[in-house]
């Protein structure tokens, strides 16, 4: 096998990447559980879990076996046909989805699922405006890109699709209203209702609001709202006859310490969007509705590879593992261990917040916990590089670019958690100083 250096040289000659990342790309020769190895045998803890697609761990033997078995039967037919793998997968997802959501429209991934969900909003309501949140991430093309909140994703691609009204996100650490929870009475959620009733601070609707689209935990930075926030948004949508679309592309399949993030508040969306783990590590996505709404949906055509036999076989096997082993319980326990460890480590003077909901969360680094001055990008790059050298694969983002996203596979062990925290402590201390 070629060396990491040789692979990177050949990769750079032919592959277009979305960004030039520090310590990226990491060359991966093999993967297992929560770990990766490069061609030289160096071991890494993968805190990005394949961009959050392998909750049951890399190369789980049951998922691998399901793919091999399916590959010998049929790998691809169009969604115009059906397969045993597709039917079993759809039945299982209908069984475990929130509430009465038992019909699935298959897609090839997250962005496509969001685009489809927004088409469903227009078909069901006859309206074209959707309330979305600042700092949201819903995808990188079409309607999904317009719904995404980060300016960095929009730059150079405007004008984007019209009809997206931006509300404040529930970012308590840097509250846009300079208030404190619970005394604020969820002022950020109230602003969603104000947009609907045309009493918002600045956002103005054209009178065609069909839905509110939210992530239960914002993936871009792992920003966690109070537990009461999503139930309040559900209440507002129901009150005003507006559809609630919940994006659980990142939070789903046990990551937040429950099977679905919606389950923390017993919320049932009107339209439920999932992807990433839908295909057990193979590209797949899904939009779920109840019988009544599904009967009204006609999108014109279907994506070529949607409902792919390999993806549905792998997704079925992965979901069965997740359910049998109740991996959300380990996610809850390891998330608590991460949070406690980060907040009690010697480098905690630089931790503005280290909140986790299961294994969905982030570490926000600041130069001063009183002023909340964010660690600048050059220092964040140095920290990321230092973590990579210490065997931790990770990314950072967030509204101010100072949040490390710590979202490993749900099979991570306590020893691996401690290894990640130790690497953080040593790296942050080296880059930002001991005093």
Contact 120, 271 (CB under 8 A): yes
Domain check: are 144 and 283 in the same one? yes
Find where tokens 């846009």 sit. 176
Domain check: are 305 and 287 in the same one? yes
Domain check: are 301 and 398 in the same one? no
Say how far apart CA 213 and CA 271 lie, in whole Å. 9
Structure tokens at 114: 């969001």
- What angle (nearest 5°) sits at the alpha carbon of residue 409, between those of residues 406 and 410? 105
What single string gives the DSSP state of each residue in 25-92? Answer: SPP-SEEEBTEEE-TT--EEEETTHHHHT-TT-BT-HHHHHHHHHHHTT-S---TTS--HHHHHHHHH
Counting the structural domains of the chain, the total is 2
Task: Among 309, 325, 341, give the residue marking a domain's end.
Answer: 325
Residue 384 domain-assigned?
yes
Contact 94, 102 (CB under 8 A): yes
**What does each of the 435 residues of the chain score in pLDDT, given as a tens digit?**
789 999 999 999 999 988 777 889 999 999 999 999 999 999 999 999 999 999 999 999 999 999 999 999 999 998 889 999 999 999 999 999 999 999 999 999 999 999 999 999 999 999 999 999 999 999 999 999 999 998 888 988 889 999 999 999 999 999 999 999 999 999 999 999 999 999 999 899 999 999 999 999 999 989 999 999 999 999 999 999 999 999 999 999 999 999 999 999 999 999 999 999 999 999 999 999 999 999 999 877 788 999 999 999 999 999 999 999 999 999 999 999 999 999 999 999 999 999 899 999 999 999 999 999 999 999 999 999 999 999 999 999 999 999 999 999 999 999 999 999 999 999 999 999 865
Find where tokens 């001991």 sit. 434
Looking at residue 302, what is its pLDDT?
81
Domain check: are 222 and 83 in the same one? yes
Point out which residues pair with 392 in neighbouring strands. Answer: 45
Residue 165 domain-assigned?
yes
Backbone angles phi, psi at 145, to 5 degrees: -65, -40
Residue 64 domain-assigned?
no
- What angle (nearest 5°) sits at the alpha carbon of residue 192, between those of residues 271 and 200? 150
Backbone angles phi, psi at 165, to 5 degrees: -105, 125
Domain check: are 301 and 290 in the same one? yes
Secondary structure class of 130 (helix, strand, coil): strand
Say how far apart CA 435 and CA 296 lie, in whole Å. 62
Residue 290 domain-assigned?
yes
Say how far apart CA 59 and CA 301 lie, in whole Å. 33
Looking at residue 88, what is its pLDDT?
98
Contact 409, 31 (CB under 8 A): no
Residue 67 domain-assigned?
no
Say how far apart CA 408 and CA 391 lie, in whole Å. 13
Contact 410, 56 (CB under 8 A): yes
Residue 80 domain-assigned?
yes
Find where tokens 């750079």 sit. 12
Task: Among 275, 297, 325, give the residue marking a domain's end.
Answer: 325
How much of the chain is in helix, strand and coil states, percent to nearest 5? Answer: 40, 15, 45
Domain check: are 134 and 204 in the same one? yes
Say how far apart CA 83 and CA 73 lie, in whole Å. 10
Residue 65 domain-assigned?
no
Q: CATH number of the domain at 308, please.
A: 3.40.640.10
Among 224, 262, 276, 237, smallest CA distance to 50 is for 276
Domain check: are 168 and 97 in the same one? yes
Find where tokens 């749900």 sit. 410
Contact 210, 122 (CB under 8 A): yes
29 C-beta neighbours (distance < 10 Å), count? 15
Domain check: are 177 and 268 in the same one? yes
Say how far apart CA 369 and CA 143 lie, in whole Å. 38
Domain of residue 13 covers 4-59+326-432
Q: How many CA atoms lie within 13 A of 257 on its CB side?
A: 18
Domain check: are 283 and 384 in the same one? no
Say how far apart CA 106 and CA 83 lie, in whole Å. 13
Q: Using DSSP bridges, classify how beta strands 356-357 and 360-368 pair: parallel, antiparallel or unpaired.
A: antiparallel
Domain check: are 187 and 284 in the same one? yes
Secondary structure class of 383 (helix, strand, coil): helix
Domain check: are 294 and 330 in the same one? no
Q: CATH number of the domain at 406, please.
A: 3.90.1150.10
- pLDDT 10s digits, 315-324: 999 999 999 9
User: Does residue 3 have a cis bond before it (omega within 30 degrees)?
Assistant: no
Task: Among 304, 325, 346, give the residue marking a domain's end.
Answer: 325
Say how far apart CA 359 and CA 338 lie, in whole Å. 9
Backbone angles phi, psi at 246, to 5 degrees: -110, 125
State the sign of the Cα–Cα–Cα–Cα dihedral 76, 77, 79, 85: negative
Residue 66 domain-assigned?
no
DSSP category for residue 321: H
- For residue 277, the Cα-to-chain-centroid distance in whole angstroms is 10
Give this prediction's pTM: 0.97
Domain check: are 275 and 287 in the same one? yes
């Amino acid at each position: 096998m070629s060396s990491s250096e040789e692979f990177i040289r050949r990769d750079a000659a032919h592959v277009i990447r979305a960004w030039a990342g520090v310590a990226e790309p990491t060359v991966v020769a093999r993967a297992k559980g929560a770990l990766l190895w490069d061609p030289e045998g160096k071991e890494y803890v993968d805190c990005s879990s394949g961009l959050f697609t392998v909750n049951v761990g890399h190369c789980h033997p049951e998922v691998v076996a399901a793919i091999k078995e399916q590959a010998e039967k049929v790998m691809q037919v169009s969604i115009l046909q059906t397969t045993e793998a597709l039917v079993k997968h759809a039945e299982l997802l209908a069984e475990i989805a929130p509430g009465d959501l038992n019909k699935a429209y298959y897609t090839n991934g997250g962005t496509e699922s969001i685009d489809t969900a927004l088409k469903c909003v227009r078909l069901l309501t006859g309206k074209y405006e959707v309330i979305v949140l600042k700092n949201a991430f819903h995808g990188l093309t079409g309607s999904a890109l317009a719904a995404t909140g980060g300016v960095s994703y929009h730059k150079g691609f405007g004008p984007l699709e019209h009809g997206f009204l931006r509300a404040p996100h529930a970012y308590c650490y840097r509250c846009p209203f300079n208030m404190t929870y619970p005394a604020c009475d969820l002022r950020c959620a109230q602003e969603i209702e104000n947009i609907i009733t045309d009493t918002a601070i600045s956002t103005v609707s054209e009178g065609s609001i069909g839905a509110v689209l939210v992530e239960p935990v914002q993936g871009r930075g792992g920003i966690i709202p109070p537990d009461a926030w999503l139930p309040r948004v559900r209440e507002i949508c129901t009150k005003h006859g507006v559809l609630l679309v919940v994006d659980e592309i990142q939070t789903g399949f046990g990551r937040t310490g429950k099977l679905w993030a919606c389950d923390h508040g017993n919320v049932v969306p009107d339209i439920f969007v999932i992807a990433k783990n839908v295909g057990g590590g193979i590209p797949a996505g899904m939009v779920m509705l109840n019988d009544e709404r599904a009967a009204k949906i006609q999108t014109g055509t279907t994506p070529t590879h949607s409902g792919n036999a390999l993806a549905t076989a792998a997704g079925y096997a992965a979901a069965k593992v997740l359910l049998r082993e109740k991996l959300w319980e380990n996610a809850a326990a390891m998330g608590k261990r991460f949070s406690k460890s980060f907040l009690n480590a010697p480098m905690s003077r630089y931790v503005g917040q280290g909140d986790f909901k299961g294994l969905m969360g982030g570490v926000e680094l600041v130069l001063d916990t009183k002023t909340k001055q964010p660690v600048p990008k050059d220092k964040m790059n140095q920290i990321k590089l230092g973590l990579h050298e210490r065997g931790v694969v990770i990314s950072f983002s967030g509204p101010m670019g100072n949040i490390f996203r710590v979202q490993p596979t749900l099979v991570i062990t306590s020893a691996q958690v401690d290894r990640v925290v130790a690497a953080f402590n040593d790296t942050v201390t080296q880059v930002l100083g001991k005093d």
